Chain A
Amino acid sequence: MRAEEIRARRRLMASRGAKQTFTYVGIILMSIWAVFPLFWMIIISLKERIYTYDPSVWIFQPVFENYVSVFAEKNLGKFLINSAIVSLSTTFLALFFGTLAAYGFSRFKVKRMRGLDL
């Protein structure tokens, strides 16, 4: 009786361990799958230009000429400022009009809104 109990418990522990291994393998595969394109982007940004189309080079001296040239030659600062202007102003406008409308809909009864609130 007792030996059987121990064996059952051991089997339970083993299956729990297997389940946990499965979970972690799944999580790790999922994370690598999600991150790999970003990782590859960073790798290519640090390689010299001639290695862009050569995935077999893994050990290399990182170069920062790409990062320097996007600021010096391609005017990246200007583009970043453009993005900041557009995103800040759209966020502000959308929040302003959206908050007003949401307040109006929730504070007062609107006849045609009945049945639309999710």
Chain B
Amino acid sequence: MSNGVSIHTDKRATSRDLHNTRRYMPFVAPAMVVMVLLVAVPFIAVVLLSFTNYELAMPADSFKWIGLRNYDRLLFGTNKLLYYSLGISVGMMVVATVLQMLIGFFCASLLNRDIKFRGLAIACLLVPIAMTPSIASQIWKLMLNAEFGVINYFLKKLFNFSVVWLDKDNSLPSVLLVNIWSMTPYVTLTLYAGLRSLPLEPYESAVIDGANGRQVLMYVTLPMLKPLILLTLLFRSIDMLKMFDVPDVLTQGGPGNITEFIGLHIYRTGFGVTTLVGRASAISVILIVLVGIISLGMIKLMSSEEKG
């Protein structure tokens, strides 16, 4: 017995000399250099640009430092589009994430039952993950076409009505629909892998104690799956907040500004409708702060769940 234990002793814990000398540096340094070049430098550049009046193709001598004026105009100016964009982005983040998690968990528990053709079903679920989001959005745009789309064709045949999918009332739900299509399989497969890895003993004892299906779900499955659910929730919400490709292809932010999510708003301010790169950088900084606050809150929640 004691032999078996000593084999598994962690070598890292006993070799103290490795702690003080920075012998890890030659291994970590290349990755650090890459990260600094590709993450830190652009980040600092965006923060600096947000304090300037930089525009595309502007004469060099009118380029100057304008302090907080970009932020002032964005937050307290007459154009309230920033607040609208942030509002629909946060709303879409909440609604889409909740729906994706619910549908994903439901599909994962269906997959986890004793069924045939599970491999085939999983292969089908891989299709939305494998397709490039912008190409998939093009196909959805074609399918959602009000007069010549296949979805309205089916609706007319089966229920005798049709929907103008991309008009001012329905474009937000359409973006939500395509998002759910493209992202739910990811949640499903993650949660399915989580369900598969759970130990069987708690289920056995729950059945012996006479728990019904709902009680098993509430008091056995969900508590054991909680860390994975919270992690998926974190990734999905951040991903939803910076969503760009689906609304860009499907509606280009239109009709009007109805589907101009924050990512599209940055793009259209900096490189589309106007070329105010400085102001677009300021919006980016606001978005970074928002994402930081949300992820910090969720990481706090996760670590407090782990402790308590």
Contact = CB atoms under 8 A, between A and B. Distances in A.
A101 B31 contact: yes
Given A31-B120, A54-B148, A56-B153, A37 B136 contact: yes
B230 to A, nearest CB: 12
Given A23-B110, A40-B139, A44-B142, A98 B27 contact: no
What DSSP secondary structure best describes chain B's contact surface?
Answer: helix
Given A24-B115, A34-B125, A35-B124, A104 B110 contact: no
24 contacts: A23-B113, A30-B125, A31-B121, A31-B125, A34-B125, A34-B185, A40-B150, A52-B142, A53-B147, A54-B148, A55-B150, A97-B30, A97-B34, A98-B31, A100-B30, A104-B24, A104-B27, A105-B28, A107-B12, A107-B18, A107-B24, A108-B23, A108-B24, A111-B19
Contacts of A98: 31
B139 A37 contact: yes
A23 B148 CA distance: 34
Given A40-B143, A98-B31, A30 B19 contact: no
Interface of A: 23-24, 26-27, 30-35, 37-38, 40-41, 44, 52-56, 97-98, 100-101, 103-111
A37 B140 contact: yes
B90 to A, nearest CB: 26
B300 to A, nearest CB: 13
B18 A108 contact: yes
Nearest to B18: A108
B128 interface: yes
